Structure formats: structure tokens, C-alpha cells
Amino acid sequence: MDFESWWLIFLPLLFALGWMAARFDFRHILSETRHLPDSYFKGLNFLLNEQPDRAIDAFVEVAKLDPETVDLHFALGSLFRRRGETERAIRVHQSLLLRADLPDTKREHALHELAQDYLKAGMLDRAEAAYLELESTAYSVQAKRALVRIYESERDWSRAIEAVKQLGKQVDDLVPQRVHYSCEIAQKALEAKPPDLVVARQAIQEAQEVVDNDPSASTQASRARLLMLRASFAALEDDDEAQRQHLLSVLDQAPEYVGLMAQQLVTVDTRLTGKAIETLSRHYQLHPSLDLFQVIFKALRTQQNSETAWLFARDGLRAHPSLLGLDSLIEVELAQADRVAPEPDHSIDDRALNKDDLVLLRSVMKQHSQRLDRYTCHVCGFQAKRYYWQCPGCHGWETYRPRRLEESQ
Ligand SMILES: [Zn+2]
């Protein structure tokens, strides 16, 4: 047989084989499709139309008819969890794990889903146990990230640090809040009764290493916190000069955060050089903040005289009008009025405003100013009277600016 005739036979044969293969595939698909219950397509349709409630009902029906559909159970469990029905999600994933015929990969998948269910349901102990089981599986990295979050929400800082270290061995994840974990340990040790200076010293050292080695952790907030912890440590060791030096460093390293420690600086410096007010006043010109304004104003009144304090306050309020600043002024003026007892028969006061006027003025202002006397999280809007390094609302780190709400408006 020459080449042309051989080709003439082979070509139709190829066509015939291709046609048969296509027909077989098509039939196979058709038969598979016929095996799927209608509820499955209904469920898909509801999903595509973003009607998860109805999709779940349809899929639950399919799962009842065909309990072997593992992937469908995963889809259902995930849908339940997303809708906040964590109990149902947990039941779906637990029932999968009970199957003896489940392959290892599916078992790990089910355990990972179950761990997420527990985490969402706030069952941290069970979530932790599930994630620990996943440590040497394909879900190892996700498990370690979740463990960091779990230990953080349990405020178990030592284990959170350990989890970050383990995570760092596998991926280059930046966990900038790691520096605050050490700061939290240091703060707790410093506030303990009696203070644990050994633990505090080590934790401060670790926090410093994080700041030095990880640029993402070296923020104004973390630097300020670290210096303030060092100052508190020095105070416990009765080392006024070291305390003053650490606090003065905040002026350069974290200028926006000076308001948080200004009172501490004034107090310690009064025993040393007495120059803190002057230094802080210069800083205020460059980085004005209400907290700093109030510290300087109070210090000027107590350590110098009313006139100097009033001059500072007048200039400050002229440059940065503030209800809270004005409120501080009136508060001090009222305290002064209390100290100077009025004459019993003094019917006409030669001052522009007498004490009753000031009380009235302050009570009117107070209604407005109190709302503004708050630190506010820029992520979730949680407001608080005191400053937090970690927001109690959204648990984000460094989400508070060291500014009162009035200054943010
Ligand atoms: Zn928040």
C-alpha cells in the first residue's frame, strides 16, 4: 500500500474514533447530570442569584438524598458559617470527620473548616485544639496565623510571640503588632504588686529588638510606648535622670505622642532641672495637641503664675480654638474663685464674669465638650476616655491617634 491510499483509510478512521469519543463523553455527562437531583440545580440557581437562604434549603435536601456528597457538605458548612449559623456548620463538619472512609486530604480540609467554625463561634479552646492538630498539614500556615490571633485575643502574649516565631520560619509574614505583645508583658510586670523588674527588663529588650529589626514595627506609637515603658522602669528604680531622658527622647522619636507622657515629664523634671515646661512649650508650637496644652497650662499655673498661664492659654486657643481648652481655663478660674472667698456684702463684682456666670457658662459648654473629650479609633470609631494601644472595639493595633475627637474634626 502506498502512502496516499493508507492515508485515505486512516483519516476516516480517526474521524470515527473522535466522534465516538465525543459521543461517549457527552453521554457520560448526561448520565451524571441525570443522577443529580433537581434540588442541586435549584440550589446552584439560588446561589447565583445571591439567595443563600434558599440555596441552603435546596442543598440540605440534596445532602439528605445523597449523603456521600462530600464537596456539597463542605459547601453547606461554609454557607452556614458565613451566615453566622455556626452550630449548623460545626455539625456538618463534625459529621464529615466521623466518616471512616474520608481520605486524609478531605479530613484535613474538614478539620480546617471546623477550626474556623469554632473561631467564629468564639469557642477559642476548641479552635486552638483544632488548629494545633493542623500544624503539620497543608493548612499549617493558616493554622499558625489563626493561633496568633487566638492567643492575642486570650491576651496570652508569650504564646502569641511563640506562634509568631513559628510562623516566621515558614513565611515572611509581617506581624508588626509583635512589638506590642512584648510591651504588654512589660507593662503587666511593671504594674504588678510588687513589680517584676526581671520580666519587665527582658520584655522591653525583646520589644526593642523587634523595633530595631522590623521596619514595619518601628512606628511613632511603638517607639513612644517603648520609651514610656523604659521611663516607668527607671521610675521604679528611683532613677529620675534616666526617667527624664527616656521621656525627653519621645519628643524626637515620637513627637505626636508627647501629650501622653507630658505630665510625667513635668513631675520628674520638677525635681531635676525645672526646664520641662519651657521644652514642652517649644514642642507645642510645632506639634500642638490638647493633652499637651492642658499639661502646660496646669504646670504654668501651679509652678509659675496665673498671668503666664493665661497668656499661654490665650495664644494657644487663638491658634487652635478648642472648647475643651476653654473648659480647662474656666475650670481653673473657678477653682481660683473658690479659693478667694467673696466679701459677704460684695454685691457688684468688678470682674467681667463672676463665679455664677462661670458656672453657668461651663455647664452649657460641658454638654458639648464632653462628647469631644474622647480618643477615637479611626477604623471602627470606638470612643474611649483613655488612650488604648489596641482598640477594645475592633482589636486593631495603633488605631488610635493621640488626639481627642475635637482635634480630629
Ligand atoms: Zn477600632
- Å from CA of 241 to ligand 1 middle: 36
- Å from CA of 383 to ligand 1 middle: 8
pTM score: 0.77
Q: In this structure, are strands 375-377 and 383-384 parallel, antiparallel, or unpaired?
A: antiparallel
- Å from CA of 388 to ligand 1 middle: 10
The confidence band for 26, taking pLDDT boundaries of 50, 70 and 90, is very low
Alpha-carbon Rg for the chain, nearest whole angstrom, is: 34
- Å from CA of 176 to ligand 1 middle: 17
The pLDDT, as a whole number, for residue 116 is 97
The pLDDT, as a whole number, for residue 4 is 65
- Å from CA of 349 to ligand 1 middle: 49
The confidence band for 29, taking pLDDT boundaries of 50, 70 and 90, is very low
Grid coordinates given for 281: 512649650
- Å from CA of 262 to ligand 1 middle: 25
- Provide mean pLDDT across the span 216-229: 96
Q: Is the pLDDT of residue 140 over 80?
A: yes
Q: At what angle do helices 290-303 and 276-286 cross, to 10 degrees?
A: 150
- Provide mean pLDDT across the span 137-143: 95
The span from the first CA to the last CA of the chain, in angstroms, equals 93
- Å from CA of 402 to ligand 1 middle: 14
- Å from CA of 394 to ligand 1 middle: 4
Q: Under 8 Å CB-to-CB from 400, ≥6 apart: which residues?
A: 375, 376, 377, 378, 384, 387, 388, 389, 391
The confidence band for 174, taking pLDDT boundaries of 50, 70 and 90, is confident
Would you list the DSSP string of 150-162? HHHHTT-HHHHHH
Grid coordinates given for 191: 504594674
- Å from CA of 71 to ligand 1 middle: 37
Mean pLDDT of the chain: 85
pLDDT per residue as tens digits for the range 350-388 = 556 677 888 888 888 777 777 788 899 999 999 999 999
Grid coordinates given for 77: 458548612
Q: Is the pLDDT of residue 40 over 50?
A: yes
% of the chain exceeding 90 in pLDDT = 51
- Å from CA of 377 to ligand 1 middle: 5
- Å from CA of 376 to ligand 1 middle: 8
Q: How many Å apart are CA 350 and CA 21, to the nearest integer?
A: 108
Which residue intervals of 83-123 are DSSP H helices?
86-97, 104-120
- Å from CA of 396 to ligand 1 middle: 6
- 35, 47, 77 from 41: Cα distances, Å: 12, 10, 18
The pLDDT, as a whole number, for residue 348 is 46
- Å from CA of 398 to ligand 1 middle: 9
Q: Is the pLDDT of residue 276 over 70?
A: yes
Q: Is the pLDDT of residue 314 over 50?
A: yes
The confidence band for 209, taking pLDDT boundaries of 50, 70 and 90, is very high
pLDDT per residue as tens digits for the range 295-313 = 999 999 888 888 888 888 8
